[in-house]
Structure 1
Amino acid sequence: KSKRKRDTYNKKRIFLTFDEWTYQGTDNLWASLMETLWKKVEAEFSEEEIKWHRAGVALAKKGANKCEREKAEKDFRIKWNASVSFLLFSAMIFIASIILIIQQEANKINNKANKKNREIYP
């Protein structure tokens, strides 16, 4: 019972105004209602929260309960973090190798310049 009470308090409610009389008798009623609802949801929650929710819903099975959805969201976050970490690590290795190549080329140029200077000024 206490868990149920806690869940009730953790829910966030969004209030929106929608004038259905404007769309009475047209097919635009439901489309306009959904558009108004999504705009309000996007304004109320952060872009990241919406992205995580959509990813979790997409990964969860149809008819899955809240626990399975949360697990799917967690799994998605783990996979996402692993992918981002791999990409960042790969980028660091790539940049480090470019820096090493540039240093080697600079050393070659300096060695050639020093060699020419020794020939000119023995």
Structure 2
Amino acid sequence: MSENRRQHLFDSNVFLTLDLLWAKEEVDPYYRARKINGEFYRNYEEQRQNPDKFYDYTRMSVETFDYILETVKSDLESGINPKSFRGISPAEKLYITLGFLASGQPFKRLSLSFRMEKQR
């Protein structure tokens, strides 16, 4: 199979890509779709475009969020492997933390809505 054909196969079939990338680990299929169905990937950019909704979720403005993110980004990047499929970006870490602090939801509920499984 040519490299272009192989790349097209991956680009056109997200679930095949997910299955192949995660084949080495036993991961609950629910969590495999994090970057498709997880709360951060579904809401973050859209909320940034709607400052009132972003404020309702994080209890701060987009500008304040960006300032805090820039301030703590290097600390939040520790442990991220850029080649890792499941790497959690600093923006996602901060967004989840602020959502937790604003809502007080239990960790299990956050785990389900953000589709992040407890590390083993």
- Under TM normalisation by the shorter chain, which class is it? under 0.3
Query: Which of these two proteins has the greater Rg computed from alpha carbons?
Result: 1
| Greater relative contact order (CA < 8 Å, ≥ 6 in sequence) | 2
TM-score in terms of structure 2 length? 0.27
Kindly indicate which of the two structures has a greater share of residues assigned to helix. 1
TM-score in terms of structure 1 length? 0.27
